[in-house]
């Protein structure tokens, strides 16, 4: 029961991290490469999960992915079942809910790199995509690492969205944080203590990785 929830939590966090990084890196690059209302608006929307109650996001995802909307009906038609109360649904919710934890460090990391390096690469004949992979991404490595750890930890620790969207199905949608809630409801404080300690251990280990790395030294 406990190991089932642990395995599910790790699977959810890993899947979310991989998907979110693939989406957030190009998006953060675009945001950090200029100014304008489109960029500001995108950044604001992506930061919403920081300030909204998770239940709001969970609620709208539950409704939006359900049979009441066109998108929801299309998904049901394609998958044969609604996304809500399934692992895939949890991944969708987690990706949205953890997005700011990927976007924010990445945008800050890309913006911290002086434009002169990319200019130098372009003057040597390197296209913008080429110089992104050769110069920008390696120089932003600490930011990428922060994004990975923060998204992973945040997904491990999320509760509201999972409860609204996933319910509480052991082996399918019951993550560690939900399992902890269950254990407390049942009055099983010993098990609850184990689960809570496990979640704390995750958080400490992950944050230690982020803070143990010295920031990239700036070269004149």
Q: Is residue 116 a contact point for another protein (CB under 8 A)?
A: yes
| Radius of gyration of the chain, Cα coordinates, nearest whole angstrom | 20
Q: CB 120 → another protein: shortest distance, Å? A: 4
Nearest to 132 by CA among 150, 113, 148, 104: 113
Nearest to 103 by CA among 35, 161, 25: 25
The secondary structure of the chain in percent helix, strand, coil, rounded to multiples of 5, reads: 75, 0, 25
Question: Tokens for 193?
Answer: 């203590």
The site string for another protein over 11-40 (x = CB under 8 A, - otherwise) reads: ------------------------------
Question: Tokens for 67?
Answer: 């049979």
Q: CB 143 → another protein: shortest distance, Å? A: 14
Nearer to another protein, 53 or 114 (CB): 114
Chosen residue from 34, 36, 125, 187 binding another protein by CB under 8 A: 125
Distances (CA, A) of 120 to 34, 135, 140: 18, 10, 17
Chosen residue from 15, 112, 134, 209 binding another protein by CB under 8 A: 134
Distances (CA, A) of 9 to 25, 50, 109, 201: 24, 21, 28, 14
Q: Is residue 114 a contact point for another protein (CB under 8 A)?
A: yes
- Which stretch, 15-23, 61-69, 77-85, 130-138, contacts another protein (CB under 8 A)? 130-138
Q: How far apart are CA 220 and CA 218, in angstroms?
A: 7
Nearer to another protein, 127 or 185 (CB): 127
Nearer to another protein, 121 or 180 (CB): 121
Q: Is residue 112 a contact point for another protein (CB under 8 A)?
A: no
Q: What is the DSSP letter of 214?
A: P
Nearer to another protein, 121 or 151 (CB): 121
Vertex 47, ends 44 and 13: CA angle to 5°? 150
Q: CB 215 → another protein: shortest distance, Å? A: 13
Chosen residue from 135, 145, 172, 209 binding another protein by CB under 8 A: 135
Question: Tokens for 63?
Answer: 């409704």
- Can you give the binding site for another protein, defined by CB under 8 A? 114, 116-117, 119-128, 130, 134-135, 138-139, 217, 219
């Amino acid at each position: 029961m406990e190991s089932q929830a642990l395995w599910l939590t790790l699977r959810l966090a890993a899947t979310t991290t991989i998907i979110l990084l693939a989406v957030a890196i190009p998006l953060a690059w675009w945001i950090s490469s200029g100014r304008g209302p489109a960029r500001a608006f995108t950044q604001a929307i992506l930061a919403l999960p920081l300030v909204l109650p998770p239940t709001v996001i969970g609620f709208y995802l539950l409704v939006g992915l359900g049979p009441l909307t066109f998108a929801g009906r299309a998904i049901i038609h394609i998958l044969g079942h609604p996304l809500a109360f399934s692992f895939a649904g949890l991944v969708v919710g987690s990706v949205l809910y953890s997005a700011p934890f990927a976007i924010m460090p990445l945008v800050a990391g890309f913006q911290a790199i002086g434009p002169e390096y990319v200019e130098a690469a372009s003057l040597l004949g390197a296209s913008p995509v080429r110089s992104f992979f050769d110069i920008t991404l390696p120089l932003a490595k600490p930011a990428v690492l922060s994004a990975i750890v923060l998204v992973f930890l945040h997904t491990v620790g999320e509760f509201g969205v999972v409860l609204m969207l996933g319910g509480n199905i052991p082996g399918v949608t019951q993550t560690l944080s939900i399992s902890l809630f269950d254990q407390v409801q049942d009055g099983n404080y010993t098990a609850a203590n184990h689960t809570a300690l496990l979640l704390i251990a995750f958080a400490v280990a992950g944050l230690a990785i982020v803070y143990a790395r010295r920031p990239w030294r700036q070269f004149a």
